[in-house]
A and B are shown apart, each in its own frame.
Chain A
C-alpha cells in the first residue's frame, strides 16, 4: 500500500500548483523509497526510461518550419481561406477535420497531423475565423481549445483501427502472456464501434455548437 504514496504526491502536487516536473521527480523518489529501492537505483531507472522515451519529444523538430511559415503569414492566409469559403462554419470545419483525422489515423498516418503540425498553424486559426463570422468574439480560448480537442479525439478513436499501432501490439503481447493468441486484425475490428460512437458524439457537439451560435446571432 505504501507505494501508492507517489500517486498522492502527484495529486497533491498538481492541486497545489507546484512545478509539475518537480512533482513528478518527487513522486518517483517517494514511490521508489516506499518500495525499498536505493536512491541511486531510482535515479538510474528514471534516467534509463527518460532516455528510452526520447521519441515522445522528437516531434518539436517541426517547430522551425511552422515558425518560419507563421512569420510569413501562414495563419493569416488560413483565416483568409476560410473567410472566402461560403457556408464554412466552425462546426462543419471541425467535423470535416475530425473525420479526416480518424480516417488517416485508421490508416496508421498518426504523425501527419497534430497540435504542432496542423492545429496551431492551420486548424485553430481557420476555426477561429469561421467562428468569428458566426458572432464569436476574437481572443477567446474556447474555439482553439475545441480545435485541439477535436484533433485528440480524432486521433485516439481512429488509431486503434490500424493493426500495427502501439496499443494493438501491447494488447496482443499481454494476451499472449496468458496463452491467448489473437490476430491484430480482430483487436482492431472491435475498435470500430467506438470510433463510430466518437464521431457521432463529438460531431453532434460540433453541430450543436453551430446551432447555438446561429441562435445567439
Chain B
C-alpha cells in the first residue's frame, strides 16, 4: 500500500538535493547554515520513524540552534532576469500554464481514482499522495519541455525555499508545542478560567465566552483543532448543551468556525499567515494578517449571532 512513506521519501530526497546545492553555493556566506538545516530536514523525512522520539527531539534542537543563531541566509545562485522571462513568456504563451495545471489536475483525478481503489493507497493520505504524483509528473513534463540541466529545477526550488527559510518548519514546531501543552494540561487550566468567566444563568454570556474563547485560544495555539476540545469541554458541553439544551451539531460546527476566524488573525498560524508572506517576498511579514483582520472580525460577529440564533431553537 502506498502511504505517507512515499510522500516523505520524495520530500526527503528533495531536501538532500537542497542541502548539497546549498553547501556548494560559494556566493552565500551562510551556506553551511542552510545546508545543515536542509540536511536535518532530509533526515527527518527519510529516517524520522527510525531515530526514536529522543532522536527526533535532538534533531529539532539542531534546527533551532541553526535558526536561532542566525546562521541561515539566502542563496546566491543566479536565475533568469526580467527581460529574459518576459521574452520567454511571450514566446511560449499560455502553454506555460499547462505544467502548473498538471499538479492540481493529477491531484483531482488521483483523489477520485485512489478512492475508487481503496486497497492501493492509505485512505487518510489520498490527497497528499495524489499531489505528490502530480508534482513528479509536472517535473517530468518540465524536464522534457525546457530541457534544463538536471539540478536546475532544484536550484530554482531552493531559491523559493530560501525565501521561506527557517519559517518553513515553524508550523510543524507549533503543532509539536501543542502536543506538549496537551501533555502539561494547559487546556484544562484555560478551560477552567473560561468557565469561571461566565456570568451565572446568562445564555448570551455562555455563547460569548465559548465563541470568543475559541477565537482567542486558537490565536494562542495557532490552530482551532487544539482549542476545540478544551472550549467544548469547558463551556459548550456543561452549559450550552447540558443546561440550555442547545443543538450539538450547530454548537460544534459554528464554534469551530469561530476558531477559524482566530486563525486568520495570529502569527502562530504560521503556515497560513507567515509562510505566504515569505513566499510572496512581502516587506511586512504581518501584511497577510492585516489583510485578513477586517474580514475575520465581522465574520466572528456573524458566527456569534448564528450560533445564538440557530443553536437554541
Question: Which A residues are closer than 8 A to B by beta carbons?
Answer: 1, 3-4, 6-7, 10-11, 14, 18-22, 24-25, 27-28, 31-32, 34-35, 37, 40, 42-51, 53-78, 80-81, 108-113, 115-122, 124, 141-142, 144-149, 151-153, 156-157, 160, 166-167, 170-171, 174-175, 178, 180, 182, 186-191, 193-194, 197-198, 201-202, 205
Interface of A (DSSP majority class): helix
Q: Is the CB of B184 within 8 A of A197?
A: no
B residues in contact with A110, CB < 8 Å: 127
Q: Is the CB of B89 within 8 A of A73?
A: yes
**B168 vs chain A, min Cβ distance (A):** 6
In the assembled complex, the Cα of A174 lies from the Cα of B8 at a distance in Å of 29
**B47 vs chain A, min Cβ distance (A):** 10
**A165 vs chain B, min Cβ distance (A):** 10
Q: Is the CB of B253 within 8 A of A3?
A: no
B residues in contact with A25, CB < 8 Å: 60-61, 64, 68, 173
Q: Is the CB of A66 within 8 A of B89?
A: no
A residues in contact with B177, CB < 8 Å: 6, 24, 27-28, 31, 46
B202 lies within 8 A of chain A by Cβ: no
In the assembled complex, the Cα of A112 lies from the Cα of B134 at a distance in Å of 10
B residues in contact with A80, CB < 8 Å: 89-90
| 24 A-B pairs in the complex with CB atoms less than 8 angstroms apart | A22-B67, A24-B170, A25-B64, A45-B179, A51-B49, A51-B53, A54-B48, A56-B271, A57-B41, A57-B171, A58-B132, A67-B160, A71-B156, A72-B92, A77-B92, A78-B97, A80-B89, A115-B276, A120-B160, A156-B260, A174-B252, A182-B252, A194-B306, A197-B306
B residues in contact with A141, CB < 8 Å: 282-284, 287
What 1/0 flags go to B134-171 for Cβ under 8 Å of A?
01001100100010100011111111110010111111
B213 lies within 8 A of chain A by Cβ: no
B104 partner, pick from A53, A117, A144, beta carbons under 8 A: A117
Our count of residue pairs bridging A and B at CB distance below 8 angstroms stands at 407
**B177 vs chain A, min Cβ distance (A):** 5
